[in-house]
Amino acid sequence: MPTSSPMAYALDQAAQAERAQEVPIGAVIVDAAGTVLAAAHNRVETDRDPTAHAELLAIRTACAVRESKFLEDCDLYVTLEPCAMCAQAIAFARLRRVYFGAYDPKGGGVEQGARVFHQPTCHHRPEVYGGIREAECAALLRDFFAARR
C-alpha cells in the first residue's frame, strides 16, 4: 500500500478517529520504500485503554507485520507531537524519523516537558521534523474540542 503522502494518510486516520468520537489523532508508519506498514488512530475511548494512542497502536502493528521489535528503517508520521509514552516507544522501536503535525504544549513529550529524546536515559534518537501540515492537524483537534465545550 504505497502512498505519496503519509501525512495525508495520517490526517485521514485522524478524521476517522473524530467520526468514532475519539480525539482526532492519526499515525502512519512507512518503510524505506514508502510502503505503509501500519496506520492507526487514537482508540482510548473505544478500547477503554489509556495506552491506545495512535503511535503506540501503529508501532505494535508494524512490529507484528515485520515480526520484529525494531523498525530501524521506518518512519512515523503523526498528526500531533507525541507524548512521553509514545516518544519512549518510538525510541524503543528505533524508528528512523518522526514527522509530526501540530505541536502540543500541554502534553507533548518531544519538544517540551519530558523531552524524551534529549535524555541520557534515551538510547535511540530519531530524526524529528515538527510542524508538517501543522494548520490542518491543529484545526482537527481545535474543532473537536470546541464542539465539546
Question: What SS3 class is residue 2?
Answer: strand
CB of 53 to its own copies, least distance (A): 9
Q: Tell me whether residue 18 is one of the annotated catalytic residues.
A: no
Question: What SS3 class is residue 23?
Answer: coil
CB of 57 to its own copies, least distance (A): 10
Is the separation of the CB atoms in 77 and 28 below 8 Å?
Answer: yes
Furthest-apart CA atoms within the chain: distance in Å = 43
Catalytic position from the list 22, 55, 81, 111: 55
Residues binding its own copies (CB under 8 A): 44-45, 48-51, 56, 59-60, 63-64, 67-70, 83-89, 92-93, 105-109, 112-116, 119-123
CB of 145 to its own copies, least distance (A): 15
Nearer to its own copies, 106 or 149 (CB): 106
Is the separation of the CB atoms in 95 and 74 below 8 Å?
Answer: yes
> In whole angstroms, what is the distance from residue 101 CA to residue 89 CA?
18
Active site residues: 55
